[in-house]
A and B are shown apart, each in its own frame.
Chain A
């Protein structure tokens, strides 16, 4: 290869390194171009590139063309592995020498150094978003599960952590992790979604990609002890009606939970996807309230106080309450995440290489149970067809849908519309605004925004976030 090719690779590697060092800042088109330029698979080029402009894509194409065969671009020795990966030398011919010995990873594996998907953190560093555009199946890798913190990520020694349950109980108790793990446990695969997801998309198309519009939803298998089991140990006094859950983070985050939820499907979980929950998910212990807005599943759980009334904490009054501007009243204790869906392919800032067959795919979920059906429109909602739901379609879990589509090259508007087993169907933006009133205020979020998402496909194949209100 020529020195200019080598320079180009060095440049792009440095750009990637710089981009990764800035994770959390918005990825600019220029950075995205550099990342896209490192992708070496022609089939992916364009379709999955983050860059939208034709010029950007041409620059990728010319970079690939300049190196001749695009199949294998040797990585420079000074390249830094992406987060979650280890940089190993790339073999010229992996069939002609032994691969690396097992165990060099120390016994805990990592993803390929060629995989670069990361969570995107908002500018205030209070939330990070799952890269849904490149996810497969229904499980979110633990390291890509969305985050929302109210006082950073505490680092807690599990040996010293205790869960105290007290209040209107017969026997106040404290439990160590070892104690909790001795109880009969259950594992359940559930989605979790922030109630603020897509709140910024109510009035206009706001964010460019599905990661940044919808990425505050993820799915894991969670393992822990039913909270009902623990409350059975402490006993409940007759007046017990609410339980305050409190975290051991700097926000000492608190939410009030109705007792009937605590006695039905609430879990106190210590494991996620078969291993201990990640620190950013509440290590060593979190509450998990299936189907409810994510923030109430208190992380770093240290205390449960049973009471006769809710506590009206800051996080359930000033935040996470839903102002209905139509009346000036705010809905409080709006726990359930209603049915919602989004097409993840094709989605914002992708580019279709040309007319022909595509499999539209995405995810649907409902806090009230199973997804019963997902309908797809390619003409902005004029006509709808049924998508195939991939098994398993579990209750309170993301469900993968697929829909065959032949694109004729004309402008198209792609939409998905989920209906859950209760018969509830995902609304339009106009329906939500008519029901609750508009909201477009700095510092205020339209929570529980589950309107039908639209992706516009232009004749040049570029895909962007489009909005029914223009």
Chain B
């Protein structure tokens, strides 16, 4: 049933499929195309959990924060693992290696076998920093920072990385406009590779 349908999808491509889906046109004998299971999800229910922020910043919450406030947040919530110098703390039990916790530095190293990939040297979008801190940090209390505090700690990290000025106020308008140094550092997957 579903598999024939999936095979058809592969052949004709996703765009055509979307319109077919809308028409409910493809289904196998004996199986309905629509099922009565599940409930409509209300806008309110969705709003509670739809926290992902894409690169254009759509969905960023109101609020704002700057370097000075961010420094305070960082020292309270972040420095224990990421280090007062943002270079990562080594040898914390049950935590990733210090190098993985490093947030800044590493520009110009990506062609080296000793590459240092940090927010500063590697991350393509500042919105990702906001998204990740808001959803998963700090480690001991994920999802506990206010929108203001997340904007502020982003401003602190990006300020220490010399990507933005220490006077920049980050909010839903300014954050997506931050130009990350490695913005153009990513390419699509060329595999399968042809090995010589």
Contact = CB atoms under 8 A, between A and B. Distances in A.
Q: Are A and B a genuine interacting pair, yes or no?
A: yes
Contact of B14 (A186, A263, A311, A444): A263
Contact of B132 (A238, A244, A302, A314): A314
Nearest to B109: A441
Interface residues of B, number: 77
A164 interface: yes
Given A305-B52, A328-B185, A336-B191, A229 B15 contact: no
B63 interface: no
Given A170-B22, A332-B189, A126 B52 contact: no
B14 A307 contact: no
A114 B9 CA distance: 50
A183 B35 contact: yes
Contacts of B196: 431, 434
A252 B35 contact: no
Contacts of B50: 166, 303, 305
Nearest to B117: A444
Interface in A290-323: 302-303, 305, 307, 309-314, 317-318, 321, 323
A311 B96 CA distance: 25
Interface string B41-58: 100011001111111100
Given A254-B135, A317-B124, A330-B122, A263 B9 contact: yes
Nearest to A336: B191
A427 B131 CA distance: 37
B33 interface: yes
Contacts of B123: 317-318
A318 B21 contact: no
A235 B2 CA distance: 15
A431 B111 CA distance: 18
Interface string B63-90: 0000000000000000000000000100
B136 A252 contact: yes
A235 B22 CA distance: 6
B136 A251 contact: yes
Contacts of A460: none
Contacts of A172: 40-41, 46
Given A307-B54, A311-B53, A260 B13 contact: yes
A278 interface: no
A165 B41 CA distance: 8
B119 A238 contact: no
B37 A330 contact: no
Nearest to B187: A329
A3 interface: no
Contacts of A336: 189, 191-192
B115 to A, nearest CB: 5
Interface string B1-40: 1110110011001110111011010000001011101111
A313 B128 contact: yes
Contact of A238 (B15, B51, B102, B193): B15
Interface string B108-122: 001111111101001
A339 to B, nearest CB: 9
Nearest to B94: A125
Nearest to A423: B192
Contacts of A338: 191-192
B102 A443 contact: yes
A240 B14 contact: yes
Nearest to A231: B21
A233 interface: yes
A55 B21 CA distance: 68
A403 interface: no
The 5 A-B pairs with the shortest beta carbon distances in the complex, nearest first, are A443-B99, A442-B99, A314-B132, A328-B111, A438-B113
29 contacts: A151-B136, A164-B45, A173-B41, A175-B39, A179-B38, A226-B3, A236-B18, A241-B14, A246-B52, A250-B136, A250-B142, A252-B51, A252-B136, A254-B131, A303-B50, A309-B55, A311-B131, A312-B124, A313-B52, A313-B131, A318-B117, A324-B187, A329-B185, A335-B189, A368-B192, A424-B192, A443-B100, A443-B102, A444-B99
